[in-house]
Structure 1
Amino acid sequence: MADNNVSDHSVVQIKDDDKDDVIAEDRNGVELIVSSIRGKLHQNPPSTARSCIFGIPNVLHRHNEKAFVPNLVSIGPFQHGKKNLKVMQEIKLWYLHCLLDRKPTSETSLEYLVEAIKGMEQDCRDCYGEKIHMSSEKFVEMMVVDGCFIVELFRKYAKEVPRNEDDPVFYTAWMKLALTKDLFLLENQLPWKVVDCLFHHTMEKDEPESNALLLLALKFFEVSAFGQDPQPDPEPKHLLDGIRSSLLASYPSQDTQRYWEPIPSVTELLQAGVKFERRSNTWDNMLDITFENGVMEIPPISIEENAESLFRNLIAYEQCDPSIKSCNIASYAVILDNLINTSKDADFLIQKEIIVTKLSKEDIACLFNRLYSDTIVGYFCYVELTKNVNEYYQDRWHRWQTILSRDYFSNPWSIFSLAAALLILGFTFLQTLYALLTYY
């Protein structure tokens, strides 16, 4: 009996020891997990207040992936090293050779340019909304090669420097269009300070200095940027920001609000008597849409094949950059989306030469109907306009006026018919009145 008690006590002791081992193992596992998490924690935020170049969020990327991805050239770290873009790397290096070989100034040496960009490396890294996992040497090399390519490209396009007869960029029909589209992509940007620094260190003696680089850039994008005349902003953050700033340069400031109401389509507004007019001599102010006394004036806009890509990248930029408060481009997309519900609406604006395009009316309607999906227009810029349009549309008198004008005053025969009907009605009334008076 005593032996059994000893045996039972030993079993209990063994079980307690196993339990302690399990607890110790659990603690060790917890400590390993905690250590792993602590090693991954960041003391600093992933991006800084100076960030201005961002990767496209998946929620926007999924609507049209091709609108955000370069087809020919990579600029900056986000698309760097992609296999389908490596052919253009040779042309970039050749452009750098052309620039250095021309040697416009005493400071135009590869050593001097690398040293200049090396001194601003951290500032350049801070411009990207994601951490760039590249060595210092690789990062600076990329900045110098890509930046010099852009500078040389703009100068060649403006014919400020000679073009080589074998240059495929200018003597291959499709490359200029492809480059234009690639260079305004949000993920394909360099900090402006890099391009500006390289431009000034390689500037010819007789080359104008004030806003010269930005004017060259806007001239390069002029046809593709909705056909608008360039309006330079002296301090852009990158090329896409320069395009956006030029579109806003002559746009008068408007009251902005978070709450806004949609407006009816072109067809519905026409039925309510609204007139649409193309504003003349305003190819530099496409955003300045006005509504007064039943007349909506809309500046002309040129819609090319790459218009959707430019719109989407501008809207994505407004969505990603916290320093941008007024969503001007997204607000404009909202107005055009409201006005254009069907191809009939698009065709009317094309006929009025408000939209200038070689695309079909179906393509135009499709473009604006899905342009700002999954975006938040935080501060809407056409609050007063939408309010006035809706008030006018909801006034029944304007609709009655339109019906009278369309059905009874649209041509002389309708007017004569209405006048004759009124005369007959008047004579019938007088005859009835005379008969009643005679009877009594």
Structure 2
Amino acid sequence: MNIEFEGARASNGEDYDMNRNIVTRLNSMVDSCAPQQGLSECCIYKVPNLLRNVKPEAYTPQLISIGPLHYGDAKLQIMQRKKLICFREFKGNRMSDERIMDLVKIIRNKEKNIRQYYSKNFDKIGSMDFIEMILLDAVFIIEFIRESDDFEDGPKNLEPWMMSDIKEDLKLLENQLPFFIIQEIYDEVDRARQEFPSIPFLRLATFHFGKYTFSQGVNNDPKVKESRHLTDLLRNVMRNGVIKRRFTFDNIKLKYSAVMLRKAGVRFRVAKEKCLLNIRFEKGVLEIPRLEVDYSFERFVRNIMALEQCYKPFEAYICNYIKFLDHLINSAEDVDLLVEKGIILHWLGDDAALSSMINKLNENIGDTSAYYDDICDKMNVHYENRWNRLNANLRHVYFPNIWRGTGTVAAAILLILTLIQTITSVKSVF
């Protein structure tokens, strides 16, 4: 009996030691982890692998690194010398060492805030390197945008082929600086140079990225003024003037493509307003603002969608817009119909290329809140009404244009007259 008791106590002791060792190991691993960044300020993200794996090059800078996420990338070092040359030119324009020290002081005082904007910790980038990086990148962005808007001279020390690549890289989610630190440096530089009246940096940046129709006349919009970095600015510009519609979790999807909807009598019309998101469906008419698509559109939209997935999943305006287009467009024939109606204008070569691009944009984009569920529901109901399809079929087959319509009416009248004559003849016999 005593032997069994001693054995049980020994066994319990071994269990206790193992449990204690596991807890000790876990505590050690937890202590070795760097503390997580404050999530309240975080808005610049490493794009999740689920999205990145679909098209890695859409999220990766091709020429220039901005901020810490791609800091030290060997493939982007060609531009480090260009940044230094830009900084030298910047200093030569009434910026003494004392003025530069003022800029360094601004960044030092806000270093903690700046780091909190990023989804990753950068403990391996020391304070001195971090401040130097922010200063060089902020100065480059300010000078690049300023000089790009000088149509006569343009940016100095940059080969012409670099211009479009840099402009596209500055839109990427992983390639951002907090807007507030660029703004503070910009304002301090204006004071040092005594440049009055100064063009606000927000207006300058909006104008710089304003090749799309939807970006015009948005500088006074409160949402635009609250932008936290350049990718966020582009998103806010896109949703400027958006109709107030409630987000829901009903997740009603559009079941039918543009060509199918036309067979149910839906008419397509290009809306006059500039906000791309303001889609309407009333009395069988689908109104969509014109969408202009070039070869840079996909990269631009993918980064805004990635921002929404990470930062604004319950206000995912652009994700919802692309999902609506994805359901509306299933083939080149759907694109052709929308091009014919003036709703889409594109330079991708053929309609099949645009159809494929739109369908792939939605890959691995998660379902969050829905913005167009009421419109989708009305359009689904419209298509599923048998009378709408029958009426549309009659109109398309027998009345597609004035000539066939006239022929159809004439044939119907002739048939009626023949029938009347036949009845009259039969009556006269009897």
TMscore range, shorter length: 0.7 to 0.9
What's 2:342 paired with?
353
Asked if structure 2 preserves the Cα contact closer than 8 Å seen for 1:184 and 1:310, the reply is yes
Q: Distance in 1 between matches of 2:151 and 2:413?
A: 77
What's 1:184 paired with?
171
Structure 2 residue 170 is matched with structure 1 residue 216:
no
C-alpha spacing 1:27/1:327, structure 2 compared with 1 (3 Å): closer
Q: Distance in 1 between matches of 2:106 and 2:315?
A: 35
Partner secondary structure for residue 298 of structure 1: strand
Structure 2 residue 387 is matched with structure 1 residue 397:
yes
Task: Please identify the structure whose Cα radius of gyration is greater.
Answer: 1
1:291 corresponds to which letter in structure 2?
Answer: F
What's 2:141 paired with?
150
What's 1:316 paired with?
306
Q: Distance in 1 between matches of 2:360 and 2:66?
A: 28
C-alpha spacing 1:108/1:314, structure 2 compared with 1 (3 Å): farther
1:122 equivalent among 100, 104, 112: 112
C-alpha spacing 1:437/1:289, structure 2 compared with 1 (3 Å): same
Q: Distance in 1 between matches of 2:27 and 2:155?
A: 59
Structure 2 residue 256 is matched with structure 1 residue 264:
yes
What's 1:344 paired with?
333
What's 2:281 paired with?
291
What's 1:363 paired with?
353
1:306 corresponds to which letter in structure 2?
Answer: S
Asked if structure 1 preserves the Cα contact closer than 8 Å seen for 2:46 and 2:69, the reply is yes
Q: Distance in 2 between matches of 1:240 and 1:364?
A: 23
TM-score, scaled to structure 2: 0.87
Partner secondary structure for residue 75 of structure 2: helix
Partner secondary structure for residue 333 of structure 2: helix
Asked if structure 1 preserves the Cα contact closer than 8 Å seen for 2:42 and 2:116, the reply is yes
Structure 2 residue 368 is matched with structure 1 residue 386:
no
What's 1:89 paired with?
80
Structure 2 residue 182 is matched with structure 1 residue 195:
yes
Deviations 1:346-394 (A, max 9, x none): 1222333322221021221111101122222422222232222222222
Deviations 1:383-418 (A, max 9, x none): 232222222222233322322222222345434443
Structure 2 residue 296 is matched with structure 1 residue 306:
yes
C-alpha spacing 1:362/1:142, structure 2 compared with 1 (3 Å): same
Asked if structure 1 preserves the Cα contact closer than 8 Å seen for 2:335 and 2:355, the reply is yes
Partner secondary structure for residue 109 of structure 1: helix
Deviations 1:271-329 (A, max 9, x none): 1222222223x3x312212222222222122212121111111111001015x631100
How do 1:19-58 and structure 2 match up within 5 A? 26=18, 29-30=21-22, 33-40=25-32, 45-58=36-49
Which runs of 5 or more structure 2 residues have no equivalent in the other structure?
Answer: 1-6
Moved more, 55-64 or 376-385: 376-385
C-alpha spacing 1:94/1:83, structure 2 compared with 1 (3 Å): same
Q: Distance in 1 between matches of 2:298 and 2:143?
A: 27
Q: Distance in 2 between matches of 1:194 and 1:205?
A: 20
What's 1:103 paired with?
94
Count of aligned pairs between the two proteins: 419
What's 1:406 paired with?
396
What's 1:5 paired with?
none
Deviation at 1:195, TM superposition (A): 0.6
C-alpha spacing 1:209/1:325, structure 2 compared with 1 (3 Å): farther
Deviation at 1:87, TM superposition (A): 0.7
Q: Distance in 2 between matches of 1:415 and 1:127?
A: 64
Structure 2 residue 285 is matched with structure 1 residue 332:
no
2:185 corresponds to which letter in structure 1?
Answer: L
What's 2:269 paired with?
277
Q: Distance in 1 between matches of 2:410 and 2:339?
A: 39
C-alpha spacing 1:208/1:257, structure 2 compared with 1 (3 Å): farther
Deviation at 1:97, TM superposition (A): 1.6
What's 2:4 paired with?
none
Q: Distance in 1 between matches of 2:399 and 2:12?
A: 98
Percent sequence identity is 27
C-alpha spacing 1:39/1:82, structure 2 compared with 1 (3 Å): same
Q: Distance in 1 between matches of 2:285 and 2:201?
A: 40
TM-score, scaled to structure 1: 0.85
Deviations 1:182-216 (A, max 9, x none): 11111111111111111001114344457x11121
C-alpha spacing 1:145/1:402, structure 2 compared with 1 (3 Å): same
Deviations 1:3-51 (A, max 9, x none): xxxxxxxxxxxx99x9999889857854652442342367x64442110
1:357 corresponds to which letter in structure 2?
Answer: H
Q: Distance in 2 between matches of 1:26 and 1:416?
A: 93
2:343 corresponds to which letter in structure 1?
Answer: I
